[in-house]
Structure 1
Amino acid sequence: MDTATHIAMGVAIGGLATLDPVVAESTANTHSVLVAAIIGSQIPDIDTFLKLRNNAVYIRNHRGVTHSIPAILFWPLVVTALVALIFPGANLFHLWLWSFVAVFLHVFVDIFNAYGTQALRPFSANWVALGVINTFDPIIFGLHVLAIFIWALGAAPGYTFLTLYVVVFFYYILRFIMQKVVKSAVLKTIPDAEQIIIAPTMHFNQWRLAVISKDFFYVGRAFKRSITIFDKFNRIPVPETPEIEAAKRDKNVSAFLSFSPVYRWEIKEFDDYKEVRFIDLRYRSNGHYPFVAIVHLDADLQILTSYTGWIYSEEKLRKKLNIIMD
């Protein structure tokens, strides 16, 4: 989920924690748990700072080890230690308990996005991405803001947020049902589909589609049961050419390939370099595919420059590549 929603969830967990008699018995415990819940709901995303290094490191590691099973156990200890310094009289066990709830819920809700997490590490490095909730879901965020507002008006926080999460639970079930309906509609449109990637959008009834059949890639959108196909590409396996093999050794291309489940490739030859490009098909926007990995190779197949990330115009991409080359 996005940062704003995670913060709202931290406040909600802090309010929910007042149902715990130990938390509710003192102001110190109530305040310390609220602070711990807000920090715990954010701390798994500390790997966002990897963007300061480069996109390759960020793409390969974001929502990776920081969202793993060991991390779920480690982060509450860190949060408890930090908050205990601010509130020395707080009950440590209950501080840890609600910190754990906040961290666990952060990682848990992230698996419902299309991006997903490596939440099963160290047992599996596979990305768990159920694709039923958009990274920012206006309904979920709005429900949290409404519940916080009701609390501010004087309602009992524990039961207010308990009611909130009962409603959110049924909302998730509804989203799974909607996704299943879309999948059935896709199979009617493309009967030979081998893999269907359905990603939510900010719009309640709209979904992004990337479909793999034996011979083609399809990219489209779903509105309720209606399927619209925008693009259809021949499904050509990535060849084992010297250019491709050289490109795969690049850190940006390697990071892209480790993350993207459906992409097409291109090789273009210019006067003084060759360009190898990989294009993720999941994020079509206004006729453009913004998530790419690109590498330029010289005549000896040495890497001149490369880039991976989200780019919305060829002009900006060329600027990125030129900056790197300089």
Structure 2
Amino acid sequence: MDTGTHVLMGVALGSLASLDPAIAHDPFLSHAVLIGTLAGSQAPDIDTILKLRNNAKYIRNHRGITHSIPAVVIWPLLIVGIMAAVYPETDWLRVWLWTFVAVAFHVFVDIFNAYGTQALRPFTKKWIALGVIHTFDPVIFVLHLLGVGALFLGVHPGYAFLAVYALVAAYYVFRFREQANIKQLVHASIHGVTDIITVPTWRPREWHLAISTDSEFYVARVKRGRLVILDRFQKRPLPDHPVINAAKRDENVAAFLSFSPVYRWEMNEYDDYYEVRFTDLRYRSKGYYPFVAVVQLDRDLNMVSSYTGWIFSEGRLRKKLEVAPN
């Protein structure tokens, strides 16, 4: 989820903790629990700082080890350990428990969007992305805002957010049913479908799709139950070719390939260099595919320039690269 929604979820969990009488009747403990849930709801996303290094580091590691099984245990211990060193004595076991819930809940909700997480590390580095909720979902965000608003009206915080999460749970059920209907529609419309990746948009009834068959990729959109094919590409496995093999060793390309489950590639030869481009088919915006990896190699297959990340025009991409094509 987005940062704002994670903050609101921290408030929500701190409010739900008030259902525990020991917390409800101890203002200091209640305050400590709220700080713990707010910190816990944000901690796994500390890896966003990797953007300051480069996109390759960020893409390869964001929602990786910081969202793993060991991290879910370690984050609460770190947060509560810091709090215990600063705050007076209180029921730190309860603070740790609710902080743990906040961290685990953060990782849990992140698996429902198309980006996903490596939540099962260290057992597997597979990305778990269920593709039913957009990174920013306005329905979930507004429901949490209504819960916060209820607090200002004097509603008991625990019961207010119990109601909110009952509605959120019902909304998730609706989204899963809608996703199932979309997949059924795709199978009825396209022959030989082997895989369907659903990418929800922030619009409740509009979805983007990356569809695979044995021989083709389809990029499609479903809006209010209507399937529209936007692009169609021949499926070409990466060949055992010296230029492609050299490109795969580039840090940016390697990061892209470790993350993207469905992509197309192309190789172009110019007067004094080669260019290899990989394009993620899950994301399409106004006819353009913004998530790419591009590497340029000289005639000796040495890397000249490369880039991976989100770019929304060919002109901007060229500015990221040191060599412009002939």
TM-score, structure 2 normalization: 0.97
Does the CA contact (< 8 Å) of 2:44 and 2:67 recur in 1? yes
Confirm or deny that 1:308 pairs with 2:308. Answer: yes
**How far 1:88 sits from its partner (Å)?**
1.7
The SS at the match of 2:322 is helix
Q: What amino acid is aligned across from residue 321 of structure 2 in structure 1?
A: L
Q: Which moved more, 1:185-194 or 1:65-74?
A: 185-194
Task: After superposition, give the CA deviation of every residue in 1:250-300 in whole Å (9 maximum; x if it has no partner).
Answer: 010000000000000011111121100000000010000000000000010
**Which residue of the partner structure matches residue 40 of structure 1?**
40
Counterparts of 1:290 and 1:62, CA distance in 2: 18
RMSD between superposed Cα atoms in Å: 1.0
**Which residue of the partner structure matches residue 72 of structure 2?**
72
**Which residue of the partner structure matches residue 121 of structure 1?**
121
The SS at the match of 2:321 is helix
Counterparts of 1:189 and 1:224, CA distance in 2: 16
Does the CA contact (< 8 Å) of 1:307 and 1:321 recur in 2? yes
Counterparts of 1:86 and 1:137, CA distance in 2: 36
**Which residue of the partner structure matches residue 11 of structure 2?**
11
**Which residue of the partner structure matches residue 204 of structure 1?**
204
Counterparts of 2:48 and 2:67, CA distance in 1: 12
Confirm or deny that 1:164 pairs with 2:164. Answer: yes
Task: After superposition, give the CA deviation of every residue in 1:12-44 in whole Å (9 maximum; x if it has no partner).
Answer: 111110011221121100111111110100000
Q: Aligned residues: percent identity?
A: 57
Confirm or deny that 1:249 pairs with 2:271. Answer: no
**How far 1:89 sits from its partner (Å)?**
3.2
How many pairs were matched up?
323
Does the CA contact (< 8 Å) of 2:56 and 2:251 recur in 1? yes
Does the CA contact (< 8 Å) of 2:304 and 2:322 recur in 1? no
Confirm or deny that 1:134 pairs with 2:134. Answer: yes
**Which residue of the partner structure matches residue 31 of structure 1?**
31
**How far 1:86 sits from its partner (Å)?**
4.1
**How far 1:79 sits from its partner (Å)?**
1.3
Does the CA contact (< 8 Å) of 1:206 and 1:221 recur in 2? yes
**How far 1:48 sits from its partner (Å)?**
0.3
**Which residue of the partner structure matches residue 295 of structure 1?**
295
**How far 1:82 sits from its partner (Å)?**
2.2
**How far 1:215 sits from its partner (Å)?**
1.4
Q: Which moved more, 1:27-36 or 1:82-91?
A: 82-91
Task: After superposition, give the CA deviation of every residue in 1:106-126 in whole Å (9 maximum; x if it has no partner).
Answer: 000000010000000111110
The SS at the match of 1:84 is helix
Structure 1 segments of 4+ aligned residues over 2 angstroms from their partners? 82-87
Task: After superposition, give the CA deviation of every residue in 1:74-100 in whole Å (9 maximum; x if it has no partner).
Answer: 101111122234432331000001000
Does the CA contact (< 8 Å) of 1:250 and 1:303 recur in 2? yes
**How far 1:57 sits from its partner (Å)?**
0.5
**Which residue of the partner structure matches residue 191 of structure 2?**
191
Counterparts of 1:40 and 1:99, CA distance in 2: 5
Counterparts of 1:86 and 1:156, CA distance in 2: 29
Does the CA contact (< 8 Å) of 1:28 and 1:89 recur in 2? no
Does the CA contact (< 8 Å) of 1:182 and 1:224 recur in 2? no
Does the CA contact (< 8 Å) of 1:23 and 1:29 recur in 2? yes
Counterparts of 1:23 and 1:101, CA distance in 2: 15
Q: What amino acid is aligned across from residue 190 of structure 1 in structure 2?
A: I
